Amino acid sequence: MIQPTRAQMAQLALLAAALASATGAGAAPPRRPEWGAIVRRVSGAGRAVALTFDDGPREPYTSQILDILADQGIKATFFLVGENVRRYPEVVRRIVREGHAIGNHSWSHRSLASVSWEVARREIERTDVLIRAVTGRRPFLFRPPYGALGSQLAGPDGLAARERHLLVLWSVEVADWSTRSPLRVAAGTIRRVSPGSIVLLHDGGGPRGHVVTATRWMAGHLAREGYRLVTVPELLGIASARR
């Protein structure tokens, strides 16, 4: 088993406190991180929002999104598919180098809701191992493909807890995979966002030029509305710090 780094453990203490706050579990932080907990949005984070990009890396879109994020001084979270990490390791290293957060989004992007425990475990572990080999960091966020939790992933005895991951879903989605209109993606996101939102977007899984354009538009707009665009771990940390 791969142990989290000391830096990850410190970050997780913050996450655990934020989760306890978010779930009303009381004032005292739990003794250990609540692995396997489901995070859809984060209350108490003020005017902070987390943009998340799934299914990549996929070029040229991921690099184009990274350029926009760098230009605008914004951080985001990328939920990576193992097969694509293998294809684009340099892009994965750039994501980490530029201060963004990464999460595991399975090896092959099959739904884990209807496969055996062992198949699901292998989808998660294989991706963790490769991400760690490429970046030096083992991810502690997991987003199941299609958001499908099934009966095995969540809870204290679930697979995510056993593999020491938080389950990160989302509170805002605009079906960017079913439209090619950047206006629909940007306007739909802006309309639905509120403080603490986690926004689902896709940089992989198909042609995503419209997501690149939408990201440029909505990032600027949300900043003008006073939103800070941060990573999911930062969102949890902010909520914890304000508790």
How many chain residues interact with Ni ion (CB under 5 A)?
A: 3
Cβ nearer to Ni ion, comparing 54 with 176: 54
To the nearest whole angstrom, how small is the minimum distance from the Cβ of residue 140 to Ni ion? 18
Chain positions 24 to 63 lying near Ni ion, rule: CB under 5 A, are 54-55
Q: Please give the residue whose beta carbon sits closest to Ni ion in the complex.
A: 54
Cβ nearer to Ni ion, comparing 43 with 108: 108
Cβ nearer to Ni ion, comparing 22 with 200: 200
To the nearest whole angstrom, how small is the minimum distance from the Cβ of residue 236 to Ni ion? 21
- Among residues 105, 202, 203, 210, which one is catalytic? 202
Cβ nearer to Ni ion, comparing 52 with 240: 52
> Which of these ranges, 40-48, 114-122, 138-146, 208-216, lies near Ni ion under the rule CB under 5 A?
138-146
To the nearest whole angstrom, how small is the minimum distance from the Cβ of residue 126 to Ni ion? 16
Active site residue 109: no
To the nearest whole angstrom, how small is the minimum distance from the Cβ of residue 144 to Ni ion? 9
Q: Is residue 176 part of the contact set for Ni ion (CB under 5 A)?
A: no
- Among residues 54, 55, 128, 176, which one is catalytic? 54
Cβ nearer to Ni ion, comparing 107 with 227: 107
To the nearest whole angstrom, how small is the minimum distance from the Cβ of residue 202 to Ni ion? 7
DSSP the chain: -PPPPHHHHHHHHHHHHHHHHHTT--SSPPSS--TT-EES--TT--SEEEEEEEEE--TTHHHHHHHHHHHHT---EEEE-HHHHHH-HHHHHHHHHTT-EEEE--SS---SSSS-HHHHHHHHHHHHHHHHHHHS----EE--GGG--TTTSSSTTSHHHHTT-EEE--SEE--TTS---HHHHHHHHHHH--TT-EEEEESSSS--HHHHHHHHHHHHHHHHTT-EE--HHHHHHHHHHT-
SS3 101: strand
Q: H-helix or E-strand containing 168?
A: strand 166-168
Active site residue 54: yes
CA 23 to each of CA 16, 30, 97, 148, 227: distance values in angstroms, whole numbers, following the listed order? 10, 12, 32, 21, 24
The site map against Ni ion for 140-159 (x = CB under 5 A) is -----x--------------
Task: Write out the residues near Ni ion by the rule CB under 5 A.
Answer: 54-55, 145
Catalytic residues: 54, 202
